[in-house]
Amino acid sequence: MHFATLVSSLAKLWLKGAESLWITTRERALAFLVALTLAIGVLAAFETTGAFEALKLSKPLRPFPEWQAPEWVYIPWKIARSFQEEADIVLLLGGSTSRELTPSDDYVSSELSNRCGRAIRFINGGSSDQTLAEAWAITEAMPKGRLASVVVGVNYLRFEESMEDVARRANSSRMPFGIPAEVRHLLSENGINVGYSFPPLRWTGWLVNNLTKLTWGHTSAESIDSGIYTDPFEGYSNRYHYPPKPIEAKVRIVDQMISERLSLLESNHSDGGYMWSSFANLMTNGGSNVLFLVLPESSSLIPFRKRSEKYLQKTLGELESSRGRVLDWRIRPELNEQDFFDQQHLLRSGREKLSGELLKLFSETIPNCGR
């Protein structure tokens, strides 16, 4: 429905019922309707520009550094902060295993900048149970023309979403970004339509819901990890800390994965491979390199690996036929069981052991790094 038609319909309904309400004259009803229309217009303008622009100001809103805000608070803030820099961006996507993979963003950014001889901004955009629509929306929110590479952290659960799942979850995303047009197009090509939520007040709703988790007046040079988080391997975004779970607890988690999630991978891995291959092709067409990194895992995950290997290999083969690169890091000889909090989330010791190879890997995804 066009906006003018909507306003006209509202006007007719309002005028018809105005006398039965506290508004007793047509003039008052019209005045109220005009005020309501103006308010909606202001809200729409704020929704499309205001909230995100507030994050992108030189003294932006930012998460409180004293305690950990949810991922869907600090990831949009990190994206907004990147607009204030003139740096190529390396973006890591994926679930909580991706979130726990890397040292702090500032540490990785500094190391990559030194290796490449120019400013590089690394953003760990990993979040718990991140959906494909969320991951795709994060890339779309990035500064145009500066996304040098996208690294997608992959485990077995990355491919358990069907196209119907993506459509169903798209408009309930925790992130304040709408579903990208490319995702709508991909789904519609396969006969799946995604409805529009109305009103789509994502930025406004996000800002209102999270005002208590944000503070104002910090300069753009400050980061979430600065000040309190002085250890680059134990930063703001890390949720898992020593000691690791006992092996018995890890085994119970894996048993639950087998009983509850293996069937999803079996049913949906073809959809997952198709959608992520489409993602890789679109990103590379836009000038970004794409790497699918199969993440390290604890030995406790072996029973799940044995049951799901054929599905994973089929999906990885499809990704390799796209324009993305695939690298399998599941078995890392430098890691031991004490480096994993559970079946796959790394602890500080694991991050530190992998950091050198990880930085080398990230630098290889950046065009003209060190040349």
Asked if residue 206 is part of any domain, the answer here is yes
**Neighbouring residues of 27: CB distance < 8 A, sequence distance ≥ 6:** none
Q: Averaged over 48-59, what is the pLDDT?
A: 54
Q: Which of 49, 65, 87 is the last residue of a domain?
A: 49
Q: What is the pTM of this model?
A: 0.84
Residues 18 and 134 both lie in one domain:
no
Residues 31 and 141 both lie in one domain:
no
Residues 32 and 133 both lie in one domain:
no
Please tell me what DSSP assigns to residue 191: T
Asked if residue 261 is part of any domain, the answer here is yes
Asked if residue 371 is part of any domain, the answer here is no
Q: Which of 15, 32, 49 is the last residue of a domain?
A: 49
Asked if residue 69 is part of any domain, the answer here is yes
Residues 128 and 72 both lie in one domain:
yes
Residues spanned by the domain of 336:
57-364
Asked if residue 226 is part of any domain, the answer here is yes
What does the pLDDT look like over 105-117, one tens digit per residue? 999 999 999 999 9
Residues 12 and 123 both lie in one domain:
no
Calculated CA dihedral for residues 357, 360, 366, 367, nearest 10 degrees: -140
Residues 43 and 82 both lie in one domain:
no
Predicted pLDDT of residue 370 = 80
223 vs 174, which has greater pLDDT?
Answer: 174
User: What percent of the chain is modeled with pLDDT above 70?
Assistant: 73
Residues 27 and 175 both lie in one domain:
no
Residues 134 and 239 both lie in one domain:
yes
Distance CA 200, CA 205 (A): 9
Residues 161 and 37 both lie in one domain:
no
Asked if residue 369 is part of any domain, the answer here is no
Residues 247 and 216 both lie in one domain:
yes
Predicted pLDDT of residue 299 = 96
Q: Which of 22-36, 125-139, 175-189 has the least mean pLDDT? A: 22-36
Average pLDDT, the chain: 83
Q: Residue 2: pLDDT band by 50, 70, 90 thresholds?
A: very low
What does the pLDDT look like over 247-262, one tens digit per residue? 999 999 999 999 999 9
Q: Tell me the torsion sign for CA atoms 311, 344, 227, 75.
A: positive
Q: Residue 174: pLDDT band by 50, 70, 90 thresholds?
A: confident
Residues 160 and 25 both lie in one domain:
no
Q: Residue 283: pLDDT band by 50, 70, 90 thresholds?
A: very high
Q: How far apart are the first and last CA of the chain?
A: 54
Number of domain units in the chain: 2
Asked if residue 370 is part of any domain, the answer here is no
Highest mean pLDDT among 22-26, 214-218, 224-228, 242-246: 242-246
CATH of the domain at 288: 3.40.50.1110
Residues 294 and 201 both lie in one domain:
yes
